[in-house]
Chains A and B, each alone.
Chain A
Amino acid sequence: MPPFLGPTGIHGHVFDRIARAVDPADPAAADLLAVVGAARARMSTPMRVAVAGQIKRGKTTLVNALLGEEVADTGRLELTFNVCEFHHAERPRLLVHFKDGRPARELPPGALSRLTVRDPAGMRLLRAVRKVEVGRPSPLLRHFRLVDTPGLGSAHGTDAENTLAFLGIDDPGQRADAAGALRRLGRDVRSVHAESAAEMGRADAVVFAFSRGLGRADQQAVDSFAGAYGAVVSPLKAFGVLTRADQYWPPAGEVGPDGLPADPMAYDPMATARRIADSCGERPAVRRVFRTVLPVAGLLGVAAQCMPSAAFEPLADLAKTPPHRLAELMEDVNLFCVRDDPQLPVPAGTRAALVDRMGAWGVFLACGALRDGLDEDATRRLLLERSGVVALREQILRHFGNRAALIKLDHGQREIAEEVARLRTTAQLADRPPPAVAGRVAALLEDMRVTDPGPGELAALAAYYRGGLNLTAEEESQLLAVTGESGPGCAARLGLPAGTPVATLLRTARRHVAHWAARCCDPLLDRPTLAVARVVLRSYERVADLVGRAQTLLYGDCHEGPGGAVGDETDGGNGR
């Protein structure tokens, strides 16, 4: 796993300074103090990643695949309308928060799934639930809190607001079911959307899930996502996931040169899904919110990690079928699942169960792996790898983890600015002078933008993600690296592998400094690019300075170097 940032945040002193500037006794500043306190606290807690998207787009399966266990209930409709937050705990626990503000109550794990609609007491409990918090001993949760949101609405400003179409449920049967469940829960469509949206606003980063390309509803959801949360969500803190990528195997649309379906043996559904994901990512509306779209086969990811070993026996039997023959038979999933075939050693019912559990592509892949002599564990690893879940975890760690501090800084800064604006507006409306504290905090925020490198880097990244910068591809990758895309260590920021000798680091850093200094002097450079170039130059200068000091002081690797002295730069983070 790549390096990630520990719980202690950098840039934390920024909020410390602001907190000191607020008088706790000042009644006007009570809210502001709470906001600053939250921002400060956030800097030292794991970041919250929300999984958002329309209902029924494979979000919960995605969460299960990420956690590596089937914790989130995918089946129970009543439970899908709750926000569910996962955090790390040594042993499994379940905490339920209530709407009426009574204290949260701990329940035995799995208690909610056991509640039935027929049980009136259970329904009362479910109706009162505001949010479910689940603690699991999953390694990923050490670095993140995962928030599974029920579903964002799509159409905006139409009368569809209160219908289930708004949540993107298009099947009338499912609509009726969902309407029934909502009625039993005493909730409505708007509240589901509002809670999801609020949860997304609270989250530090967002993974937006959609399936099957962007249909009209998904597209509207992305549009309204971009419109409503354009300020909150930028490519810096969001990316998209195309779920159910395994649906492209057996190849359906893809055709060979003769216009007939492509050969399933050589066909990689993930490549197809990636192509679709890329073409989604090229839509301007999508690019504004996220730059990266990853294809993931969630079902296969879950199966690879959670399928009982017993299921490998029929797979091993199936693997005895010659590969071409198996591919040909599996190409017709329907016949594979229902028709008795003397050539297949496994009865149709078992085949169907396997396809249900891991998807047709999963069955085919697993047979291939077993045929190649891989054991169960190796097969599981291969399946997990192919499902795209490994890549997704890495992406989350890299994209969010390494830049957690920046993202959280951005989040806190924005919230404080909003609160200051609110204070000023309230005062203005009441015809009072704005409280002094508002001015003080605003000045500090302004000051911070100049003194702390974080805001500058944020602005540079924002400009980059907005597009239109006049940079070469190499310069763009340098911009991403120096702002922490691949890790917060000096080597990572220089785009070099961990353990690179200090001398090389220094040389590289100085070369970059020279290059960007030259860029800054270019009189023809447009203003936005110039601003970005200045930020990058300053960042490289800091890295060069750090490496230089490390060299003179210790003659050692800068990573183990003067961590404390330059803590606000690298936070002692390192590329082990």
Chain B
Amino acid sequence: MNHSVRDHAFGRLRADVLAAFPRLTGELSDELGPHQRERLEQSRARLERGTCHVVVGGEFKHGKSTLLNALVERPGLFPVDVDVATSVVSTLAWGPRERARVHLGDPASADGAGRHTEIALADLGAYVTEQGNPRNHKHVRLVEVQAPVPRLESGLVLVDTPGVGSVNPEHTAATRSFLERADGLVFACDALDPLTTYELDFLDEALKACDMVIVAVTKTDKVRDVSPLVADAREKIAARTGRPAGSLVVIPVSAFRKLKWLRHREREAGRGGDRTDDRLLADSGFPELDHALWGGLATAAGAVQLRRALDGLGDALATAGSPTANELAALESDASLRSLRHDIAGTTARIERLTAGGAEWRTELRRRFELDNRRTRTGLQDAFDAVSRRYQEAAAGGCDPGSDELVGEVAAGMLRALTEAHERLAAVALTLMREFAERTSLRLTPPEVPPPPFAPAVAVPTVPLDVRPARAFDLLRSGWSTGMAGLGAGGLVGFVEPVTGFAVAACLGVTGVVQGIRNHREDLRDRAERERAARLLHLVNQEIAANRRHATEAFHQAYGDTAQTLTQELGAQLAAQRESLAESGRRLQEATSRTEEQLARRRGELLARQQRHRLLQGELDRLRSRIEQSAAPPPRPPRQTARPAARRRDTVVSPVSPVSHGPFDPGQFDAP
């Protein structure tokens, strides 16, 4: 089954990029310092555990869970029943063994802190379904499921969400809040039920928020004629969203046929045969769905991850190559040797100073970070004020203060404000980082000096901050998976922990808001209308205030962690630089004591080494162009959301990827 993953563009590319890591470390075994090695290892680990989150959404009873089970070829994984409806968000990711972790929110505790507990997969129904957990009275906020499902090995995380616009408004709120930061959406619509207006509203929103939206028309085995249904769905979505019908991905699927095919296959395997009914599989529509899903991921989120990994590889190669380039330059003439030695000594001294514990840039960085984020902070509070004011106005204007729509709006508004604040936080950190990197290199190389023979490889860290700036919330997304995998090495540690807390507390807190209010409402339903409205208003305001408190705390926490990570990251960069400089200095030292003959031989060696570096760089370039190709496949037209993200990402990466302008081969290592 592993081969089926490799059949997909994304899976293949990812495997190739992963394979480039050991190759690079092998080739450069004697040129990489321990710090560089560690950074490379981190980059590889990030790609390996890097996840794409695909939300599986749709109205309840439209076959979402069955679709999921058929997609991962695990019948019965998620509970399915005609009368069972999914009621909480659950995620499914790869794991070496089956386990499920339930995050519970305790409504009684003032700080909204959650606990989590491990359950058996068989007991899933008691937590994730409306029947086992009616109205989510167990206060489940998130269920994380892991299973050794080969299809998910490449880091795909499927998020099963409750319906949209169905009985419980918190379902819709939860689905929407996840959509904000998902890499893709598979939307299940029922062949038996025509698309409704609220489903179309949801899709409209999803298409705006998400790079990849696949509409799966489920239960096609239950209707007489499928093609008019698909055409109808396509037309309706096009009419509602204003997108050309041809650009929409609408795939008719039959989970029933896929499951039946699985059963056949298992039976055949039991008999030792391998005759499977491939027509059944083709009729199920799942091959097309797989194709669209993996192809779509390769173009969107996956491409970002792969690019990031390639950046890491390129960084390592350039950093490792700069001593060679410098030494070659030094071998050119005595004058260049002298000037190089001088530069290196100067740079080393500066880096020493920068590394020193009391270095002034640390305080400066903190000061600037505080200053630049002041606006974010006030913006967050203003947004909260606005949300709460709008709510008061609506309630005063005669709206039912407990109505699902109104409360949902409040929850969504608060979440939006919080998301924006975090994005701004990340953006500020990104700018500061770049600025500081530039400032340190400027001082190293005064403008009146001719172009330096080498550039310091102090770069904007590629580690936690170079997320897609359009939705800089990869941080949050990685939080979901990192919590599960128990990972969090290096610079990520500080970042991830509070973010996971935030993800559960704030993001899923939306469901908490709506639920809490619903409970109050039901208690009060029988009381006098006026009294009820007044009390409800009071209670909702209390909920808003409590949520605001949590959100503000979460923001402060994230703020502190970001600041800390900033300094840590710069420190790590400096350490890697020092390593590279020390190596350059050592080699120059050796060069001075060599004879002509030795020098000639040395130059030959160095040239050969540089040739090797070039070959490696060529490989990386080919990988990169493959990613770019798959990211813009001809059948899928460019999407507005995908494009700017990719562009901005490039502008972040290219100028800062370490470029070694050696005198002999200017532009040799220019980023592609």
Contact = CB atoms under 8 A, between A and B. Distances in A.
Interface of A: 157-158, 165, 170-175, 212-216, 219, 247-248, 250-255, 258-261, 272, 275-276, 279, 331-335, 337-338, 352, 355-356
B75 A259 contact: yes
Interface in B294-316: none
Contacts of A334: 220-226, 254
A337 B192 contact: no
B82 interface: yes
A250 B260 CA distance: 14
B221 A332 contact: yes
A352 B197 contact: no
Contacts of A252: 63, 66, 82, 219, 222, 256
A253 B82 contact: yes
Given A272-B83, A334-B220, 19 more contacts: A157-B400, A170-B197, A171-B196, A172-B195, A172-B200, A172-B239, A250-B222, A252-B66, A252-B222, A253-B61, A253-B63, A254-B82, A255-B75, A255-B76, A258-B75, A260-B259, A261-B256, A331-B221, A334-B226
Contacts of B232: 173
Nearest to B165: A216
13 contacts: A165-B197, A172-B200, A216-B167, A252-B256, A255-B76, A259-B69, A260-B75, A272-B83, A275-B82, A332-B257, A337-B225, A338-B225, A355-B224
Contacts of A219: 167
Contacts of B131: 279
A334 B222 CA distance: 6
Contacts of B166: 215-216
B283 interface: yes
Contacts of A333: 221-224
Contacts of A172: 195-197, 200, 236, 239-240
Contacts of B287: none
Interface string B248-281: 0000001011011011000000000000000000
A355 to B, nearest CB: 6
Contacts of B220: 334
A135 to B, nearest CB: 36
Contacts of A258: 75-76, 263
B75 A171 contact: no
B84 interface: yes
B83 A276 contact: yes
Contacts of A175: 197
A171 B223 contact: no
B124 to A, nearest CB: 12
B71 to A, nearest CB: 14
A174 B195 CA distance: 11
Contacts of A165: 197
A171 B257 contact: no
A247 B191 CA distance: 12
Contact of B84 (A253, A332, A337): A253
B619 to A, nearest CB: 44
A247 B75 contact: no
Interface centre among A252, A254, A338, A352 (most CB of B within 10 A): A252
Contacts of A254: 81-82
Nearest to B200: A172
B505 interface: no
B254 A158 contact: no
Secondary structure call for the B interface: loop
A337 B81 CA distance: 25
Contact of B61 (A158, A213, A279, A352): A213
B361 interface: no
A397 B615 CA distance: 89
A258 B256 CA distance: 13
Interface centre among B193, B197, B198, B254 (most CB of A within 10 A): B197
Contact of B194 (A174, A214, A216, A255): A174
A179 B82 CA distance: 33
B403 interface: yes
B201 to A, nearest CB: 10
Nearest to A356: B224
A356 B77 CA distance: 34
Contacts of B196: 170-172
A215 B74 CA distance: 29
Interface of B: 61, 63, 66, 69, 74-77, 80-84, 131, 165-167, 192-198, 200, 219-226, 232, 236, 239-240, 254, 256-257, 259-260, 262-263, 283, 400, 403, 405
Contacts of B239: 172
Contacts of A259: 69, 74-77, 80, 259
A385 B131 CA distance: 30
A335 B222 contact: no
Contacts of A260: 75-76, 259-260, 262-263
A253 B83 contact: yes
B106 to A, nearest CB: 26
A256 to B, nearest CB: 9
Nearest to B81: A253
Nearest to B403: A158
Nearest to B83: A276
Contacts of A215: 166-167
Contacts of B219: 252
Nearest to B280: A332
B228 to A, nearest CB: 12
Contact of B192 (A216, A247, A255, A279): A247
A216 B60 CA distance: 11
Contacts of B262: 260
Contacts of A173: 194, 232, 236
A158 B225 CA distance: 38
Nearest to B239: A172
Please name the 9 residue pairs, one residue from A and one from B, whose CB atoms are nearest each other, closest first: A259-B76, A259-B75, A170-B196, A253-B82, A171-B194, A337-B224, A332-B221, A334-B221, A276-B83
Given A171-B194, A272-B82, A261 B224 contact: no
B412 to A, nearest CB: 18
Contacts of A212: 61, 193
Contacts of B236: 172-173
Nearest to B259: A260
Contacts of B83: 213, 253, 272, 275-276, 279
B31 to A, nearest CB: 53
A337 B221 CA distance: 10
A174 B193 CA distance: 12
Contacts of B254: 332, 334
A172 B203 CA distance: 14
A265 B269 CA distance: 25
A356 B223 CA distance: 10
Nearest to A156: B400
A251 B83 CA distance: 12
Nearest to A257: B76
Contacts of B195: 171-172
Nearest to B77: A259
B536 to A, nearest CB: 14
A253 B190 CA distance: 13
B167 to A, nearest CB: 5
A213 B236 CA distance: 25
A335 B221 contact: yes
B82 to A, nearest CB: 4
A214 B167 CA distance: 8
B82 A248 contact: yes
Contacts of A275: 82-83
B452 to A, nearest CB: 65
Nearest to A360: B222
Nearest to A280: B83
Nearest to A261: B256
Contacts of B81: 253-255
B77 to A, nearest CB: 7
A513 B626 CA distance: 90
A259 B239 CA distance: 38
A165 B222 CA distance: 27
Interface centre among A175, A248, A259 (most CB of B within 10 A): A259
A157 B256 CA distance: 42
